[in-house]
Structure 1
Amino acid sequence: MSYDALTGRTAVVTGAASGMGEATARLLASHGVRVALLARRAERLTELVATIEADGGQALAVATDVTDPASVDAATERVHAAYGRVDLVVNAAGVMLPNPVTDGRTDEWQRMLDTNVAGALRIIRAFTPDLIAVAEAGGTADLVNISSIGAHIPFPNYAVYGATKAALTYLSQSLRTELGPRDVRVTNIEPGLTDTELAGHVDNAELAGQLDGMFDALTGLSADDIADLIAFTTSRARHVNLRQAIVLPTRQA
């Protein structure tokens, strides 16, 4: 598969310190994309930049908390100062904290809403003007949001997480009506069971055990599988928008 069309583009990837964000940043950089890496863990980002540069790529570490508007504003300024306009945005930052709603874990609810929904919106607000300007100039412009199969299929104890992902899926659908006519592509990706650090956020021993059992039974996807899909999607001709992709392990119904 040729990803030659990616060469020379400039991307912002959130959640780049691990999982799907890190895998996507690595793959894009390997195909000639300048990648701004946004995440909270500065040390992890610095290590990733070193790895990408050692492989001949270009990357910029930008410690960012997507739940903090001032942090996002500062990151936007830094990216623009270093790279100018961005033409590819990947919203990969996310947090999954399952527990019964009856537990009333409002701190977890707020964290998921702030990261999975409001965090994505802050990044969209910051870089959509770039995407529109690039498209108006005849370039290819992409916004990719990583949602979840949980946006459609209910899982016990994942109600709030699923609701945040349903919001992101709907947001992507609605944004296509605003940005599509301006030649900006919006892609929503909904992975099923995928091996990332999200599972490590689960502090409920019973639910963590259920996840481990699912990985054993279903042979979950890897973060690299999702990165490959993102690279494929964003390397198509600019008039082609792979708008929605649900990607599951073959054994997951």
Structure 2
Amino acid sequence: MTYPTLSGRTAVVTGAASGIGAATARLLAASGAAVALLARREERLKDLAARIAAAGGRAVAVAADVTDQESVDAAAARIRAELGAVDLVVNNAGVMLPNPLQDGRTDEWTRMIDTNLTGVLRVTRAFGDDLRAVGGRGGTADLVNISSIASHIAFPNYGVYSATKAAVTQLSASLRGEFGPQGVRVTNIEPGLTDTELGDHIDNPELGLDGQLGGMFQQIGPIAATDVADLVGYAASRPSHVNLRQLIVLPTRQA
């Protein structure tokens, strides 16, 4: 599905190299938006940009690391130079690294906090002035944050990941108070079990695709990245006075 009312918009999608980010970028471009693709894997981004262009869309591949302030600032400057002011930001970049807290994997804690939470803060700050300027003059401006159902439901060994996503959900609610009066919509989306590359990052075989997570995939059946992307497009395509504040999307069999 595409959303024609998104035609002419300028979007930034983080974590666009795969999964929900790539699916969202494709949908927005197919709907007529110009899309800046942000992620660390530049070759993946270039390939996606080429495929979007071949389908008649417009996309710019911008290699950036949301855990690095200078990288985010440089990406923002390049995007404005090539595409102009941004009116739609999708904070999707994330990493999921479950392990028992007592394992003391401080490297994983830091990586998840820096990517899942501080990365959202950096990107929101980098494009916040653009969004407020568009909203302030009566245009449609959207900030969409991809959180997780893990922000509400406790999963064993996912404590730090869940905490970062709970922070994103709370941050989204708080940002509505800041951005809403300035004409900027803030939408928080919480997917459940989704078929993405997140599981590939898990180095604990008992918890990864050969263990706990893989068992969930078999028993429940995940939703697709395109299902989440469709919610992004739907939320951003509503009339500008309508803000879908919170969206939860789960596989039918997930409690």
Normalised by the size of structure 2, how large is the TM-score? 0.98
**Which residue of structure 2 lines up, in the alignment, with residue 55 of structure 1?**
55
Partner of 2:5: 5
The 5 A counterparts of 1:159-178 are 159-178=159-178
Q: Distance in 2 between matches of 1:44 and 1:127?
A: 23
Q: How many residues align?
A: 253
Give the corresponding residue for 1:148.
148
Q: How far did 1:77 drift?
A: 0.5
Say whether residues 1:196 and 2:196 are aligned partners. yes
Secondary structure of 1:96's partner?
coil
Deviations 1:99-142 (A, max 9, x none): 00000000000000000000010000000100000011211000
- Could you tell me whether the CA contact under 8 Å between 2:17 and 2:39 is conserved in 1? yes
Partner of 2:82: 82
Tell me, yes or no, if the aligned pair for 2:2 and 2:27 is still in contact at 8 Å: no
1:137 & 1:176 partners in 2: Cα distance?
18
Deviation sequence 1:184-206 (CA, Å, 0-9, x none): 00000000000001011111101
- TM-superposition CA deviations, 1:37-79 (whole Å, max 9, x none): 0000000000000000000000000000000001001000000
> How far has the Cα of 1:5 moved from its partner?
1.1
- Larger CA deviation: 96-105 vs 131-140: 131-140
Please tell me the residue identity of whatever aligns with 1:191. P
Which residue of the partner structure matches residue 113 of structure 1?
Answer: 113
Counterpart for residue 65 of structure 2: 65
- Residue 232 of structure 1 and its aligned partner are, at CA, apart by 0.5
After TM superposition, where is structure 1 displaced by more than 2 Å over at least 4 residues in a row? Answer: none
1:149-179 CA-partner distances (Å, limit 9, x unpaired): 0001111000000000000000000000111
Q: Find the aligned partners of 2:140 and 2:164 in 1 and give their Cα distance.
A: 28
2:75 alignment partner AA: A
> How far did 1:240 drift?
0.3
Aligned partner of 2:228 among 198, 213, 226:
226
Q: Which runs of 5+ in 2 are unaligned?
A: none
- Report the residue type matching 1:35 in the other structure: V
Choose which of 243, 249, 252 in structure 2 pairs with 1:250. 252
- Superposed counterparts of 1:197-216, under 5 Å: 197-208=197-208, 209-216=211-218
Q: Distance in 1 between matches of 2:145 and 2:160?
A: 18
**TM-aligned CA deviation for residue 2 of structure 1:** 6.5
Confirm or deny: 8 A CA contact 2:2 2:31 kept in the other structure. no
State how far apart, in whole Å, the 2-side matches of 1:54 and 1:83 are: 19
Give the alignment's Cα RMSD to 1 decimal: 0.8
**Runs (5+) with no aligned partner, structure 1:** none
